[in-house]
Structure 1
Amino acid sequence: MGCGTSKVLPEPPKDVQLDLVKKVEPYTGHKTDVYKHFIKDDGSGGLKTGCPSPPYHIQPYPGPHLASHTEPHEPRKTRVAKYRAKFDPRVTAKYDIKALIGRGSFSRVVRVEHKATKQPYAIKMIETKYREGREVCESELCVLRRVRHTNIIQLIEVFETQERVYMVMELATGGELFDRIIAKGSFTERDATRVLQMVLDGVKYLHTLGITHRDLKPENLLYYHPGTDSKIMITDFGLASARKKGDDCLMKTTCGTPEYIAPEILVRKPYTNSVDMWALGVISYILLSGTMPFEDDNRSRLYRQILKGKYSYSGEPWPSVSNLAKDFIDRLLTVDPGARMTALQALKHPWVVSMAASSSMKNLHRSISQNLLKRASSRCQSTKSAQSTRSSRSTKSNKSRRVRERELRELNLRYQQQYNG
């Protein structure tokens, strides 16, 4: 996928705290184990342009019991025992398997409890026989084994066997960013700056280490716990890239989630960590309105909007949003990556520094929630419609894929000259 080419991290600056994973349990069996690299699951369900398989992030809420994902006619104890039998004895000796909270093509994510401390964690169990999973996970573990920051999900330890890898990670139980906003009942610009400060702190730390996330979006921003004082955590580093020494921090892989992809990625120019700042501009726009700055069911039209940097502040609640907040967004959603704010500059922007003190303290919750729920309902309808017609489209899928690829190539060529100009 291209992400795997960035395996060597630079030496971090002396003023940046850096910790390694506490422990890695190696495979101690056959010495010619072909699975030398830890791998990652592919299945978040969202499209990742140009990547072989999308990564999966740990779900925030404890899901249904393990038994609910197996055949209903089996006794519950039998089903649970069968599932737990898939875990390496070293894992079950240390952790109690509690519930299945997520699944993907190559993995299962379970909620566990440390037997000694009773601390809850999440374990991602990955099948190692899939090349795509290995490629995607390589970048995630390369990053997570080296970072420690309060706003970044923490890898605790890794167990490796000949057939599976078990990643023990912090469990974020507070839910996704926008789920919390909908449930909150009140949301002001000051609340938005508190959220963005935490995310920007984490992104600044990553960028200082030469790490680019490349898939920042609301689904990858989770609250650590349900309390009002919970921190935000950045998750899902399946598309992350770590800078090599001397490569000038330039990346070339076309990857990301369509609505959040920066223009320079679309025109296939070498790019820097400024693509994360573009994504933060999109997130900031949604955070203050519940709507997307760039959105179209037609992928070509969507990319055209992005390449032009075409968005507006029309509709509710934008008339109630301060000009300072809009200026913050404008300085991030800048087509020219060289003119885009860095994470440090964003943290020093007057709107963030003052925590929107000069802005209206009007509660934007009603409009934001309505817009978020409207969009979720619309996407749900689209998904159901797509599922109902999937069988009739299956014979045309290869042709449709070729058409989309051709359209994207044509669009890239069309706008390359405009962008370069």
Structure 2
Amino acid sequence: MGCGTSKVLPEPPKDVHLDLVKKVEPYCGYKNDIYKHFIKDDGGDAIKSGFPSPPRHTNPYASGCSPTRLEQPEPRKNRVAKYRAKFDPRVTAKYDIKALIGRGSFSRVVRVEHKATKQPYAIKMIETKYREGREVCESELCVLRRVRHTNIIQLIEVFETQERVYMVMELATGGELFDRIIAKGSFTERDATRVLQMVLDGVKYLHTLGITHRDLKPENLLYYHPGMDSKIMITDFGLASARKKGDDCLMKTTCGTPEYIAPEILVRKPYTNSVDMWALGVISYILLSGTMPFEDDNRTRLYRQILKGKYSYSGEPWPSVSNLAKDFIDRLLTVDPADRMTALQALKHPWVVSMAASSSMKNLHRSISQNLLKRASSRCQSTKSAQSTRSSRSTKSNKSRRVRERELRELNLRYQQQYNG
């Protein structure tokens, strides 16, 4: 949620368990960015990272996360030329490159248009010269080549070069789940069940194929188009695990996004696709309140909360949320995975089946929006403070180095004087 996210990336399967914790810094400017000449987001599409972003008419991140101003903006024509030069000729021969719409640690997502059909698509360009990027790419391709479901982003075709892979995918233009909630003006339990039903349909399909997403979170749930009747699509399969025929259903890799990681992953136990159901419990909690069930800036304390399954229904808007909705969350945020609902069981839960017909129809929008925006702003300030601290440490380090270099020069000069004298 907010300016930056921290993701635990998977390590290659080994007998011993190792964690590779990857800190994903918020994008706060173009300095040292090899893609600095790419066209900026034109505001039309939403395949991006960060949770949750504010509605377009507000900008709580203005003080800390706005791009660095360029002294002399480069003419658009030149930027377009440099931008297209980053792509393999086979790609540009078939697609018109329109705009950069997303950034990741090893990837960029761009909006393109098929030259012959004029159909818009998204291309995810992954740098495979880096080991981490190559592993994420292989994992994502392995999954996307197997799936075809209305609530899962569809892979259209793939172009590969020695250093990059270009994945052409469906373009989701409706924005992230919580952007839509904030902009909507009204949100009830019935709206929440409609969203969860679509996500659960996609997750049930994945689990039937032996695929575990392992990184389900709100920013990976996108609306297909801006219309009110748009479907939700599950995206970002970079951490997904696909079980091969004959394999057991247990996984051992420690990975995910901290606030959504299931307890069994934290204690390094072999786990199943039930970790996705825990993440859906977290998402359901956020969906109905705009707050996180487990939250702490200190990761150790956060993990302790998760291991205990310690969360509460205090504060707004929980008094207005039905007991049936809370029961749905409780059956997902169950520490013992054996007692956790499966995707099929969740789809059959009375709260989802009845589409909240017996639940409170009170508009929860105001409380949810306020909580989402408050948290987004708070996280941004926290990121800004951390960046300031790192900058201060760096300044002190540079100062110390300059002092040592000056002392060394003086010492050399003294030796030279003694030698010449």
Normalising by structure 1, we get a TM-score of 0.77
Counterpart CA distance in 2 for 1:415 and 1:48 is 59
* Matched position secondary structure for 1:8: strand
Bigger drift between 353-362 and 407-416 goes to 407-416
Counterpart CA distance in 2 for 1:223 and 1:153 is 10
* Matched position secondary structure for 2:166: strand
* Matched position secondary structure for 1:383: helix
Counterpart CA distance in 2 for 1:16 and 1:313 is 38
Change (3 A) 1:228 1:99: same
1:101 deviates by 1.4
Change (3 A) 1:18 1:111: farther
1:414 deviates by 58
1:171 deviates by 1.0
Change (3 A) 1:405 1:44: farther
The answer to whether the 8 A contact 1:19-1:146 is kept is: no
Tell me if 1:397 matches 2:397: yes
Counterpart CA distance in 2 for 1:59 and 1:202 is 33
Change (3 A) 1:242 1:24: farther
The answer to whether the 8 A contact 1:124-1:166 is kept is: yes
Bigger drift between 123-132 and 67-76 goes to 67-76
1:16 deviates by 35
* Matched position secondary structure for 2:100: strand
Change (3 A) 1:76 1:45: closer
The answer to whether the 8 A contact 1:294-1:302 is kept is: yes
What percent identity do the matched residue pairs reach? Answer: 93
Report Cα offsets for 1:343-401 as digits up to 9, x if no partner. Answer: 00000000000001111111111111111111111111111111111123459999999
1:292 deviates by 0.6
Report Cα offsets for 1:6-36 as digits up to 9, x if no partner. Answer: 9999999999999999999999999999999
1:132 deviates by 1.1
Report Cα offsets for 1:50-99 as digits up to 9, x if no partner. Answer: 99999999999999999999984543212211221221221111111111
Note the residue ranges of structure 2 that are not aligned, 5 or more in a row: none
1:181 deviates by 0.4
* Matched position secondary structure for 2:338: helix
Change (3 A) 1:25 1:164: farther
The answer to whether the 8 A contact 1:6-1:244 is kept is: no
1:257 deviates by 0.5
Change (3 A) 1:391 1:192: same
Change (3 A) 1:338 1:108: same
The answer to whether the 8 A contact 2:289-2:318 is kept is: yes
1:243 deviates by 1.1
Normalising by structure 2, we get a TM-score of 0.77
Map 1:207-356 to 2 at 5 A.
207-356=207-356
**What count of residue pairs does the alignment treat as equivalent?**
421
Change (3 A) 1:307 1:55: farther
1:44 deviates by 20
Bigger drift between 13-22 and 186-195 goes to 13-22
Counterpart CA distance in 2 for 1:403 and 1:309 is 51
The answer to whether the 8 A contact 2:204-2:343 is kept is: yes
The answer to whether the 8 A contact 1:266-1:412 is kept is: no
Bigger drift between 71-80 and 209-218 goes to 71-80
Change (3 A) 1:413 1:205: farther
Report Cα offsets for 1:234-259 as digits up to 9, x if no partner. Answer: 00000000113333210000100000
Change (3 A) 1:365 1:252: same
Structure 1 counterpart of 2:63: 63
Change (3 A) 1:215 1:393: farther
Report Cα offsets for 1:174-200 as digits up to 9, x if no partner. Answer: 111011101111010000000000000
The answer to whether the 8 A contact 2:125-2:167 is kept is: yes
1:164 deviates by 2.1
1:165 deviates by 1.6
Change (3 A) 1:280 1:185: same
Change (3 A) 1:234 1:300: same
Change (3 A) 1:99 1:333: same
Counterpart CA distance in 2 for 1:389 and 1:342 is 44
Counterpart CA distance in 2 for 1:269 and 1:374 is 36
The answer to whether the 8 A contact 1:126-1:165 is kept is: yes
Bigger drift between 339-348 and 81-90 goes to 81-90
Bigger drift between 98-107 and 191-200 goes to 98-107
Change (3 A) 1:41 1:398: farther
Change (3 A) 1:259 1:47: farther
The answer to whether the 8 A contact 1:144-1:155 is kept is: yes
* Matched position secondary structure for 1:389: helix
* Matched position secondary structure for 1:22: strand
* Matched position secondary structure for 1:331: helix
1:273 deviates by 0.2
Change (3 A) 1:53 1:87: farther
